Structure 1
Amino acid sequence: MAIQHFPLKLVSRRMLAPAVGHYVFVRDDGQPLDFIPGQFIQVHFHYADGTATKRSYSLATIHDHAMAPGEEVEIAVSYVPGGAATALFEGLEAGGIIDASGPFGRFCLAAADANQRYLLIGTGTGVTPYRAMLPQLEAAIAERGIEVVLLFGARTPAELLYGEEFRAFADKHPEHFRFVPCFSRELPEDPHPDTRHGYVQQFLAEFTPSAGRDIAYLCGNPNMVDACFEALKDCGLEVKQIRREKYVSSK
């Protein structure tokens, strides 16, 4: 699909975590924003001195690929103290306009995939592509009987972005989808049996990655992405079986 430049108008926002906002936009030019789950948009703005800059945000929108004008465009925004993009988003009120382009990226499920299982690994806002992929994963479960493990790293339960949605999806597909939140600092009061205490890379081996059945996705903190990439290679996965995106906080 073609890369486009377009205005986005804020419809609403809510806090997903103490320093992460969920923003809902619509295109303000009367056109739909179609995209492939896993892709991202870029938001264009200026520093205080007038220098042009941009930031990338994965699309969190869940849609059926029949989008029409006026349908929602959703992203998760991490607030970085002193950050120019943070100032832009924190100061944005309903009806406010930002300048964007996209969609970009190939961090997507591929139609030709014939794997038995997906290992989806993320930290922070790196989990947003997996939220957008849920309808595709549900279709693949129905059509191919695939399994999915979502390993999601967060420091505390308050930072488990979209956690209730992922748990509900796991409860709906108990034989095919496991949601494994890994908390590095604080566990919930009543942890689910699939909850882990530590970092995602510590628990990857528990799921026995296999070149014969797995395709892995890595999205989020660069250190996590690098560590899991090496661990997956050590398990025999080829580079083409490991798809990755790194999120770098920037001012």
Structure 2
Amino acid sequence: MSFHTGPAVAIQHFPLKLVSRRMLAPSVGHYTFVRDDGQPLDFIPGQFIQVHFQYADGTATKRSYSLATIHDHALGPGEAVEIAVSYVPGGAATALFEGLEAGGHVDASGPFGRFCLMPTDANARYLLIATGTGVTPYRAMLPQLEAQIRERGVRVVLLFGARNTDELLYGDEFRAFAGKYPDHFRFVPCFSRELPAPDSPHAHADVRHGYVQQFLDEFAPDATGDIAYLCGNPNMVDACFEALKGHGLPVPQVRREKYVSSK
């Protein structure tokens, strides 16, 4: 993973108890945990946790998951710990999560990472670009983006690559946010394989057919006003990074995190 310099939060080690799970896509589950030591998990949206477990032979291993949690400050920070888990056929982590029932536990540590919105940002627009579960940190950022829209009128474009509507993770939430702030937030799903049916709620003017990197030029990246975030498939991240540099964005204005599937 690649990170930019940002705020620090104390790293902790803690047990997580599963509260619920639901399927976001045929091979992606949304898991809601609580810390089972009575403490909140105070984190900055964009950070991730690591889940620790063992292979069948007893060898210790771990997997990283971006936090999808939307803080409810009325309840206090970190009431829930939410992550999106991609299922990999034959994967050890997949077996762990598929076999986890409500009330079951995993061992976790964190938070880690600096893939976060910065309080010093004075940009006019954010370009948020993701594929697959790489969109997870942007869900966690929605309250921060809402505050910046209200306080300084920032504009946001979210380009999200998926194969079809079944894999458009958190699509309903992003579409609802775009409906709430139509002048400031554009949600642009890019479907590489199958476009939504005309009567689908996912069918709207900002839907594109192809890969996210094909449509970046359409939004005219601007070094004087844009900060870009890239999260997901390494090939997409690299292609968009080069394209943004071609538009003149300096490296500090392009913040990256690559997701690599592990068994």
Q: How does the TM-score come out when normalised to structure 1?
A: 0.98
Are positions 1:41 and 2:53 aligned together? Answer: no
**Would you say the 8 A contact 1:33–1:67 is kept in 2?**
no
Q: C-alpha distance in 2, partners of 1:19/1:39? A: 23
Alignment match, 1:60: 68
Partner SS for 2:179: helix
Structure 2: unaligned runs, 5 residues or longer: 1-8
Give the conservation status (yes or no) of the 8 Å contact 1:31–1:68: no
Number of the residue aligned with 1:193: 205
Query: Which residue of 2 is the match for residue 207 of structure 1?
Result: 219
| Alpha-carbon distance in 2 for matches of 1:192, 1:62 | 26
Cα deviations across residues 147-168 of structure 1 (Å, max 9, x unaligned)? 0000000001000000000000
Distance 1:67 1:249 in 2: 34
Residue 36 of structure 2 is matched in structure 1 by 28
Paired residues of 1:31 and 1:69 also in contact (CA < 8 A)? no
- Give the drift of 1:68: 3.9
Alpha-carbon displacement from aligned partner over 1:48-79 (angstroms, at most 9, x marks no partner): 11000000000000015576488110000000
Q: Deviations over 1:145-188 (max 9, x none)?
A: 01000000000100000000000000000000000000000010
- The question of whether the paired residues in 1 share the 8 Å contact of 2:18 and 2:104 is answered with yes
Q: Which of 148, 151, 161 is 1:153 aligned to?
A: 161
SS in 1 for 2:231: strand
1:181-216 alpha-carbon deviations (Å, 9 max, x no partner): 000000100221000000000000000001000000
TM-score under structure 2 length normalisation: 0.94
Say if 1:219 and 1:244, in contact at 8 Å, map to a contact too.
Answer: yes
The separation in 2 between residues aligned to 1:68 and 1:25, in whole angstroms, is 15
Aligned to 1:238, which of 238, 250, 256? 250
CA distance, structure 1, for counterparts of residue 235 and residue 106 of structure 2 = 31
Q: Output the aligned Cα RMSD.
A: 1.1
Residue 84 of structure 1: how far off its partner (Å): 0.4
Alignment check: 8 A CA contact 1:4 1:102 kept: yes
DSSP-derived class of the 1:56 partner? strand
Aligned-residue offset at 1:15 = 0.2
Distance (whole Å) between structure 2 residues aligned to residue 131 and residue 66 of structure 1: 18
Q: Distance in 2 between matches of 1:19 and 1:56?
A: 17
Answer yes or no: is 1:168 the counterpart of 2:168.
Answer: no
Compared with structure 1, are the counterparts of its residues 69 and 151 closer, same or farther at alpha carbon in structure 2 (3 Å cutoff)?
closer
3-state SS in 2 of match to 1:6 = strand
Q: What percent identity do the matched residue pairs reach?
A: 84
Letter in 1 for 2:164: T
Alignment-derived partner of residue 186 in structure 2: 178
Report the residue type matching 1:124 in the other structure: G
Aligned AA (1:3): I
Checking the alignment, whether the CA contact within 8 Å between 2:17 and 2:103 is kept in structure 1 is yes
CA contact (8 A) 1:30 1:70 kept: no
Query: Is structure 2 residue 144 aligned with structure 1 residue 143?
Result: no
SS in 1 for 2:10: coil
Q: Which runs of 4+ in 1 moved over 6 A?
A: none
**Are 1:128 and 2:168 matched, yes or no?**
no
Partner-residue secondary structure (3-state), 2:157: strand
1:70–1:212: structure 2 CA closer, same or farther, 3 Å change rule?
A: closer
Question: Counterpart of 2:225 in structure 1: which amino acid?
Answer: R
From 122, 129, 139, give the equivalent of 1:114: 122
